[in-house]
């Protein structure tokens, strides 16, 4: 029986133009900007020499491009997984946070309160449904590579859920931790569940943005 913990290195994708504008991307497929491409290369260099048994990423281009910069340098096969996509923000997608608050104040207020059952109109996910999706995806990945080390490149919302999994923080509690673009975040899974190892290591980056609301 394998008693070694399974280690996941979680990376939020590199910066995009919409990150810089504080514009809500959700599942809209926005590419990295020049800063994001530089961050992806810096992350690849920072992880050089690390051993990974597998690598997974969201199938959205900003996460896939960030992951490819790392896996091509390390020679690790990459699997794109749509279950690692960002939360679907429905009618908020494409708006800045200021625009969303101005145009849809009631919806924005429920979102800001972190109401777990509130689903955005126009096909959006509730926080509870998103949480269930991310937890299932990470549990499946950990199960496939029990006792191993896995790279997972995804999105700020996915990492928010992962941090809460590892620390026991509830969905409704305000965020008091960082989610910088392209930082390194380590969590572990063993018989006792998930635990936090190290979070928001961005020593390899000249600049890294955390533009997401702290609500």
Identified catalytic residue from 86, 145, 155, 189: 86
Instruction: Give the single-character DSSP code of 61.
Output: H
| 143 Cβ contact list (under 8 Å, min separation 6) | none
Burial per residue of 31-42, b for 16 or more beta-carbon CB atoms within 10 angstroms, e otherwise: bbbebbbbbbbb
Identified catalytic residue from 13, 88, 104, 145: 13
Is 13 noted as a catalytic residue in this protein?
Answer: yes
Q: Distance (Å, rounded) from C-alpha 40 to C-alpha 213?
A: 23
Is 37 noted as a catalytic residue in this protein?
Answer: no
Neighbours of 190 (CB within 10 A): 16
- Active site residue ranges: 13, 86
């Amino acid at each position: 029986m394998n008693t070694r913990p399974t280690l996941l290195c979680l990376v939020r994708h590199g910066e995009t133009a919409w990150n810089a504008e504080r514009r809500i991307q959700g599942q809209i497929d926005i590419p990295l900007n020049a800063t994001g491409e530089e961050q992806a290369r810096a992350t690849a260099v920072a992880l050089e020499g690390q051993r990974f048994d597998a690598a997974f990423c969201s199938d959205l281009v900003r996460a896939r491009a960030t992951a490819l910069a790392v896996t091509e340098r390390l020679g690790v096969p990459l699997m794109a997984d749509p279950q690692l996509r960002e939360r679907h923000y429905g009618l908020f997608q494409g708006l800045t946070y200021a625009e969303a608050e101005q145009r849809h104040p009631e919806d924005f207020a429920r979102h800001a309160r972190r109401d777990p059952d509130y689903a955005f109109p126009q096909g959006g996910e509730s926080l509870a449904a998103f949480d269930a999706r991310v937890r299932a995806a990470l549990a499946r990945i950990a199960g496939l590579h029990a006792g191993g080390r896995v790279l997972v490149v995804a999105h700020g919302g996915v990492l928010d859920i992962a941090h809460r999994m590892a620390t026991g923080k509830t969905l409704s509690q305000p965020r008091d931790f960082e989610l910088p673009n392209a930082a390194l975040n380590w969590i572990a899974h063993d018989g006792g569940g998930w635990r936090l190892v190290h979070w928001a290591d961005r020593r390899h980056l000249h600049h890294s943005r955390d533009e997401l609301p702290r609500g």
